[in-house]
Amino acid sequence: MTISPPADYVASSALPYPNSLPMSIRQVVFQHPRTQGLSTLQRLDGRSMLRTEVVEREGTAMSESIPHRSLLGELARRADTRSRRGRRYPLDGLLAMLILGALHGEKSLRGMWMWGCKHWESLRRPLGLVGNPHPPVYATVWYVVSALPKDVLDQAFQEWTLTWSGERVRAVSVDGKVLRGSRRREPAESGLEVISAVGQELRVVLAQRGVCEGDTITAAIELLKGMPLQGKLVTADAGLLHREVVETILEGGGDYLGVVKDNHPQVKKAIDDWVEPDVFPPGPGTSAG
């Protein structure tokens, strides 16, 4: 059995040639002149399969030069849970392509994918997608996103944001909202609700967490526990000003400021009784009671 390498590949003499392998599996390894890595052509039980385990030299150099504090660097550190077999497009590159599509005004996953396809030649090298001359089909993108753990992007964005916000943020606003464009067609299905922490000085979202079954308090606590709060002032509306949330802020070394309304009647009355003598002091001829 003889396997002739493609014209743009050169065989590696350091690795066994097909005839030296058992008949059940014959393997020939080629070294592409523009790549750093190996492409393995296997013939197993009469079926040919090309397994690519290569990255272009340009892509390797580019990956090594990705700034550690960049968003692409954070995406590259996310664990790829896909099976290695058939993994043609790196997870970080695909996600970066979709993020760029969203930044350019695309509102849907299909729109982000189409934007990436349109600009593929400009994107594939900077994003480390150099081993693929053609963009992925939509089914590939849909599968990658649907199988992605929900907190992967949140964590990547949060860690990236904290690398450059740091001490520049002293006041943080925590608030819940429904994401624009997330409402479903069915009236009974609500949109995607999240709890966000916004750096007031920079006017940028520092972190956010999804709300499960309307439990905003649990989402807020998880959000705050994952943030550095030392020396920061956290503001929240009346709906989030619960004991558990306040304790989380204090345990993290922060301070809190919020509005107390009638949803906490006992707390509101205690505050009124405490501040009323100072705010509304008794006039002449009136008693303190």
Nearest to 84 by CA among 36, 52, 124, 125: 52
Q: Tens of pLDDT along 126-162?
A: 888 877 789 999 999 999 999 888 788 888 888 888 8
Residue 277 Cα distances to 60, 177, 258, 271, angstroms: 70, 37, 21, 11
Q: Tens of pLDDT along 195-226?
A: 999 999 888 889 888 888 888 999 999 999 98
Domain limits, the chain: 1-65, 67-148, 165-274
Nearest to 38 by CA among 46, 47, 23, 28: 28
Task: Please check whether residue 12 is in contact with residue 31, taking contact to mean a CB–CB distance below 8 angstroms.
Answer: yes
- Lowest-confidence segment of 32-46, 51-65, 66-80, 192-206 by average pLDDT: 32-46
Q: What is the pTM of this model?
A: 0.62
Please indicate whether residue 167 or residue 63 has the higher confidence score (pLDDT). Answer: 167
Q: Tell me: domain 165-274, CATH 3.40.50.720, correct? A: no
